[in-house]
Structure 1
Amino acid sequence: MTNLNNFNVIKVTDEEKIQVQQEWISSTNPIKAQDSSSSFPNATLAGEGFKILFYLNLLLLAALVISLTLYGLVYAFRSHHFHPKQWYPPLLIATLCGGIVGFKWQWITARNPTKAIRAAFCLSPLLSCAMGVMFVYIGSAPSLAVGARAIENRTMLTALLILVILLSLGWTMQFLKNVLQVTISRVKYMHLFGGEIMDTRVALHDTVKYQTGSVSLGSILVPFISLFRGFARSTSLIGGDNGEVMFSCVSCYMGIASLLVTRGNRWGFVHVGVYTKGFVQASSDTWDIFNRAGLEQLIDLDLTGSFCFLSGMAGGAMCSLVSGIWSIVIHKSYATEISIYAFLIGYFMFRLAMSWPQACVSAYYVAYAENPQSTQFDCTIPVRLEQLQIYQA
C-alpha cells in the first residue's frame, strides 16, 4: 500500500489519514468489511436530529400517500369524475421511461462525456419548449400554473396535502441522490488517494447506517444555498453598477452567498463519506482545501452541476411529453396534472442516474486538492488553471 506520509496533503490531519488507512484495510478484507462501525465516530447532534426528522418525513409521506390513494379510490366509486385506470398508467409509463432512459444516459455519459454534455445543452431547451407547446395545446393559461387544475375541483385541504407530499418527495429524492453521491465519491476518492478499490456495497451500507443524518441535512441545505447563490449571481450580472433600489444590495447578496457556500456545498459530501464528518464541517473543510489549493475559481466554473440539472430537465420534459400525449389521447381532462407529475418523476429519475458521474467529479476535485502531486492525476486541472491565468492577464 502506498505510504501516505510521502504525500504532500494540504488539509487532512494525521488522525484522519490513519482512519482512511483503517477503512482501506477493512474494505479490502472481506471479514473486517462486515464490521466497519468501529471506524465511524459519534454522529453530530444536528445530524441525529435531521435523521429523526427524515424518518418522520418518510412516515408522514407514506401516511399521506396511502390516505389520498384510498380517498381517490373511494371517490372513484362515488363519482364519475375520477378514473384510476386513466390516471395511473401514464405515471407508471413515465417512471419506467425515466428509469430506463436515465440509466442509459448515464452509460452514454461514461462512454462519451463530450457528446453527452453537448446533447444535454441542446436537448434540454428543445424538450422544454416542446413541453410548453403541449401545455398550451392542453388548455388555457391558468392551466399552465403548477397545481392550478389540481385544486380546481378539490378542497384547499387536499391541495395542501398534495403540496406537502410533493415537498416530501423532493426531499426524499434529494436524499437518495446524495446517498449515492456519498457512496460513489467515497469509493472513487479511496482509489484516487491511495490506489485501493473499496467494495461499493460496504460504502453504501456505511452511508445508510451512519451518515443518514448528515445526508438528510445536506439534502435540504444544498438546494436552497445553490438557489440563493444563483439568485445572487444573476442579480449581480443584471444589476452591475445600476443604482436602482432592487440592485442596491448586490454586494450584500454576494457576501451572504459566499458565506453560505462555505457551510453547505455538494463537495462536502466527499468528506462526509470518507471522514464521516458532519455535513457543515465537511463542507467548510472542503472549501478551505479548495482555497488553499487555488481551485476556488475553477470550482465556480465547473459545469457538472449544470450538466446534471439540464439532463434532469431533459428527462423530465421527455417523461412529461410521453405521459401528456398519452393523456390527451385517452382523457384530456387529466393531461395537465399528469404531465406535471410525470415531469417531476422524470427529473428525479434522471438526477438519481446522474449522481454517479457527479460523485466521481466531486471526488476527483477533492482528492486533487489534497494531493496535487499524486501520479493518479493527469494534467487536466493544471492546464485549465494555466488557461484561467492567461485569460485574467
Structure 2
Amino acid sequence: MSDSNISSSSSDSASIATVDQNVGRNERIIDADQTFSPELRHWRDVFWLAIFIIHLIVLGVLLAIFGLNRFKTADRLNIDRYTEGFWENNNGLTETYWPKYAVAGGVGTSLGCIWLLLLGSRANQMMKVSVHILTTYLAVISVLCFWCEQFFWGVAFATGAALQFLYVIAVIDRLPFTMLVLQKAVKLVWSLPEVTRVAYAFMAVLLLWMGIWSFGAAGVVASSRGDLGRWWLLVVLSVSLFWTGAVLCNTVHVIVSGLVFLVLLHGGRNASSMPPNSLMKSLRYAVTTSFGSICYGSLFTAAIRTLRWEIRGFRSKIGNNECLLCCVDFLFQLVETLVRFFNKYAYVQIAVYGKGFNRSARDAWELFQSTGVEALVAYDCSGAVLLMGTILGGLITGTCAGVWTWITWRDRVIMVGSTAMLMGMVLVGLAMVVVESAVTSIYICYAEDPSLIRRWDPQFFNQMSETLHQRLQHRSARAREVLTQNQLDSHMQDTFHQVSQKVKAHVMRHSDRSWISMQKVEELNPGAGYAQILGRNTSLPFVYTRENEL
C-alpha cells in the first residue's frame, strides 16, 4: 500500500515537474524576426484557391439565372420548358420571397453588430444566456414544427435539443474555466478597436454576397420545380453559402489572430518593437498568399471540430460500459487523427508564419502535445460555447423570416426558415470569430512561450497553470488505473491457464469422467481461490459447477 502511494505521488510530482519545466522555458523561443517575414510568404494551397474562385463564378451565374427567371415575370428566361416532363409548374415570383431573405439578412446583421457593440460590457452574460437558452429554444421550435405537421423537422430539432442538453450536462464542470478564458479573450480583443472594424468590413462584404445568394434562392423557392427538386437545389446553395461564409470568417480569424499574437509577443500594441502597419500586413497576407490555405481549411475544420466535441462529451459520460466505450474510443481516435491535420489553431500558424494549412495544423497540434498544453485545450469548451451563440443567432433569424412566410405562404415556411437560419448563423458567426481568434492565439502563445501570457496577465497565467496541473494529474491517474487493470487481467489469464492445465491432467487420469467439480479444483489448488476464477470462465472444458458430484 505504501509503495503504491509512493508511486502515485512520484508520478504526480513528475507530471507537475514537467509542466513547471514547460512553463519555465527560455523567455524567447519565438523568433520575432520570422513573424510576418516577407521571405516566408509564398502562395500556399493554390489548388483550393482556384476551386473556390471557380465555385464563386459558376454559382454567381446560376444564382443570377435562378433569380432573373422569376423576377417580375414567371419563366422570363423560358427555361421551364426543359423541366415540364418531370417537375410541377408554379407561377411564383422571386420578389415574393426575396424580402423574407432581406429580413433575415437584417436580423442577422443586427445580432452580429449588437454582439460586437456589447463585446466589452456584456459578452460574458450573452455567452451564458446562449448556453442555457439554446436547448429550450430548440425544443420550442420542435413543438412548433410538429404543430405545423412538419414531422421530419420536428424530430430534427428535438434531436438537436437532446444533444445540446446532453453536451451541456457532460461539460458542466468545464464551463467555469471556459468562461474565464473567454472573458480574457474579450478583454484582449476589446483593447484592439481596429479588430472590430475588420469584422464590420467583412460583414458588409458578406452581406453583398448574401444579396446575390438570396436573390437566386428566392428564385429557386418560387420556381416551377417540385419540392424534391427545390430542396436539392437549396441544399447545394446552402453548402456553397456555408463554405463562403466559413472562408470569410476564417479570413477574419487569420487577420485577428495574427494581430493578437504580435501584441502578446511584443508586450502591447504600443510597444516600440511592435512592427508598423501590423493590421494591414496581416490583412494583405490573409487575402493573398494565405487565402488558399483558408479556403482549404474552411471546407473540413468546422465539421470535424463539431464531431469531436460531441464524441468527447458522450465519451465522458459512458461509465463502465466497455463495449460502448470501445466503439466510441475507435471513433474518437479516428477523429483525433483528423484533428491533427484539421484544427482551428492552424490559422494562427498561417497568420504568423505563412505555412500551408495541413502543416500549420500539424505543427500546432504537435506543439500542444509536446508541451502538455493539449490537455488544457481538450478541457476548454470556448469554441462550443461560441458555436451555441452562433446557432442561437441563426435560430432567431430563421424564426423572424419563418413567421413572416407563415403569414403569407405557409407551404414555403420550412424552405425559407431553414435557409434564413443559415444566413443568420453565418452573419453572427462572423462576429463571434473575433473572440475565437483571441482564444486560439492565447493557447498558441502559452504553448510557445508561457512568459508571454505571464507578462500580459499574471493572475490569468497562474490560473491556466493550475488548471493544467490538475488536468495532467487527472490524466496520470487515469493512466495508472488503466495500467493496473491491464496488469490484473494479465495475472488472471496466467492463473486461468495454470488451473486449466491441472484440471485437464486430472481428467486424463480419470478418463471415465467428463467433468470435475469446483470442490475438486480447490483440492488440486488449495488456497488459490481458483474456483472463483473458474466460476467466471465458461471456456474451460470438463469443468461444471456441480458441488455434489465427485
Mapping 1:252-331, distance limit 5 Å: 252-331=330-409
Aligned-pair CA distance for 1:295 = 1.4
The corresponding residue for 2:49 is 51
Matched, 1:378 2:458: yes
> Aligned in 2, Cα 1:68/1:190: closer, same or farther, shift over 3 Å?
same
Mapping 1:1-393, distance limit 5 Å: 8-10=27-29, 12=30, 14=31, 17-20=32-35, 23=37, 38-44=38-44, 47-73=45-71, 75=74, 81-142=91-152, 154=226, 158-195=230-267, 196=274, 198-233=277-312, 236-237=315-316, 239=318, 241-242=320-321, 244=323, 248-374=326-452, 375-387=455-467, 389-390=469-470, 392=474
> Aligned in 2, Cα 1:83/1:72: closer, same or farther, shift over 3 Å?
closer
> Aligned in 2, Cα 1:143/1:365: closer, same or farther, shift over 3 Å?
closer
Aligned-pair CA distance for 1:319 = 0.6
Higher mean alpha-carbon deviation, 208-217 vs 137-146, is at 137-146
> Aligned in 2, Cα 1:377/1:275: closer, same or farther, shift over 3 Å?
farther
Q: Distance in 2 between matches of 1:241 and 1:306?
A: 26
Aligned-pair CA distance for 1:129 = 3.0
TM-score normalised per structure 1: 0.83
Cα contact 2:286–2:351 (8 A) shared by 1: yes
Cα contact 1:64–1:165 (8 A) shared by 2: no
Aligned-pair CA distance for 1:19 = 2.3
Aligned-pair CA distance for 1:111 = 2.5
Aligned-pair CA distance for 1:60 = 2.2
Cα contact 1:225–1:257 (8 A) shared by 2: yes
Cα contact 1:179–1:207 (8 A) shared by 2: yes
Higher mean alpha-carbon deviation, 214-223 vs 266-275, is at 214-223
Q: Distance in 1 between matches of 2:340 and 2:385?
A: 22
Q: Distance in 2 between matches of 1:284 and 1:80?
A: 52
Aligned-pair CA distance for 1:261 = 1.5
Q: Distance in 2 between matches of 1:168 and 1:175?
A: 11
Secondary structure of 2:417's counterpart equals helix
Whichever residue aligns with residue 376 of structure 1, its letter is W
Cα contact 2:253–2:433 (8 A) shared by 1: yes
Q: Distance in 1 between matches of 2:381 and 2:333?
A: 22
Whichever residue aligns with residue 18 of structure 1, its letter is D
Q: Distance in 1 between matches of 2:56 and 2:382?
A: 30
The superposition leaves residues 121-163 of structure 1 with CA deviations (integer Å, 9 ceiling, x where unpaired) of 123223333333433343432565899x979962755543332
Secondary structure of 1:106's counterpart equals helix
TM-score normalised per structure 2: 0.60
The superposition leaves residues 229-266 of structure 1 with CA deviations (integer Å, 9 ceiling, x where unpaired) of 2354355346554355x664333222222222221110
Q: CA RMSD in A?
A: 3.0
Q: Distance in 2 between matches of 1:141 and 1:128?
A: 14
Whichever residue aligns with residue 61 of structure 1, its letter is L
> Aligned in 2, Cα 1:291/1:377: closer, same or farther, shift over 3 Å?
farther
Secondary structure of 2:288's counterpart equals helix
The superposition leaves residues 55-99 of structure 1 with CA deviations (integer Å, 9 ceiling, x where unpaired) of 111122212212221333354679764243331111101101101
Identity of counterpart residues, as a percentage? 21
Aligned-pair CA distance for 1:179 = 0.2
Q: Distance in 1 between matches of 2:422 and 2:100?
A: 13
Q: Distance in 2 between matches of 1:111 and 1:82?
A: 46
Cα contact 1:138–1:336 (8 A) shared by 2: no
The corresponding residue for 1:30 is none
Aligned-pair CA distance for 1:310 = 0.6
Cα contact 1:61–1:169 (8 A) shared by 2: no
Whichever residue aligns with residue 212 of structure 1, its letter is F
Whichever residue aligns with residue 282 of structure 1, its letter is S
Cα contact 1:138–1:328 (8 A) shared by 2: no
Aligned-pair CA distance for 1:361 = 1.4
> Aligned in 2, Cα 1:80/1:214: closer, same or farther, shift over 3 Å?
closer
Larger radius of gyration: 2
Secondary structure of 2:42's counterpart equals coil
Give the total of aligned pairs.
365
Q: Distance in 1 between matches of 2:153 and 2:309?
A: 28
Q: Distance in 1 between matches of 2:123 and 2:429?
A: 16
Cα contact 2:90–2:225 (8 A) shared by 1: no
The unaligned stretches of length 5 or more in structure 1 are 1-5, 24-37
Q: Distance in 2 between matches of 1:118 and 1:234?
A: 19
Higher mean alpha-carbon deviation, 341-350 vs 281-290, is at 281-290
The unaligned stretches of length 5 or more in structure 2 are 1-24, 81-88, 157-216, 268-273, 478-550
Q: Distance in 2 between matches of 1:344 and 1:39?
A: 40
The superposition leaves residues 314-355 of structure 1 with CA deviations (integer Å, 9 ceiling, x where unpaired) of 101111111111112222222121111111111111101111
Higher mean alpha-carbon deviation, 130-139 vs 59-68, is at 130-139
Cα contact 1:235–1:247 (8 A) shared by 2: no
The corresponding residue for 2:271 is none
